[in-house]
Structure 1
Amino acid sequence: MHSLDVNPERKPVKQKRRNFAPERQKAVDEEIEKLLKAGIICEVKYLEWLANVVMVKKANGKWRMCIDYTYLNNACPKDPYPLPNIDQLIDATSGHGREIWVVTNQPLRKIIHKPYISGRLVNWAVELSQFNLSFIPRTAIKAQALVDFIIECNFPEEEPVPMSIGPGRNIDQDIGAWALKVYGSSTNERSGVGLILKSPEGFIIQTAISFGFSATDNQAEYEALISGEENSEADVLSKLVQNSSDLDCSVYFEELQKPSIESEEVMEIDNSPNWMTPFINYLEKGELPEDKGKAQRLKAKASKFFIEEGILYCRTFSSPILKCIGPGEAQYCLMEVHEGICGDHVSVKALAHKIIRQGYYWPTIHQDAIEFVKKCKECQLFSNVTRMSPVIPSSVLSPISFVV
Structure 2
Amino acid sequence: MDLLKNIQETFDSLRKINMKLNPKKCSFGFEEGMFLGHVITTRGIRANPKKIQAIDEMAAPRMRKEVQSLNGKLAALSRFLSKAAERSLPFFKVLKDNVGRNFDWTPDADQAFQEMKALIRTLPTLTTLVPEFSGETLTIYLAAGTDAVSTVLVVERGGTQMPVYFVSKALQHCEVNYKPVEKLIFALVHTARWLRRYFQAHPMLLLSKPEVSGRLAKWAIELGEHEIHYAPVPLSKAKSWQILWLNSYAPSKKEEHTYALRFEFPASNNEAEYEALLSGLRMAEKTGIKYLKVSVDSQLMANQMNGTFEARDPAMQNYLALVEEMANKFERFSITQVPRSLNKKTDALSKLASSVFSHFAKDVWVEVLSQKSTDVVQEAATVEEVKTWMSPIVTYLKSGTLPVDGAMARKIRMKAPMYVLRDGVLFKKSFTAPLLRCVGPSEAGTIVKEVHEGTCGMHLGFRTVVGKIMQLGYFWPSMYRDTKEIIKACAS
Same fold? TM cut 0.5: no
More contact order relative to length (CA 8 Å, sep ≥ 6): 2
TM-score (structure 1 length as normaliser) = 0.27
Larger Rg: 1
TM-score (structure 2 length as normaliser) = 0.22
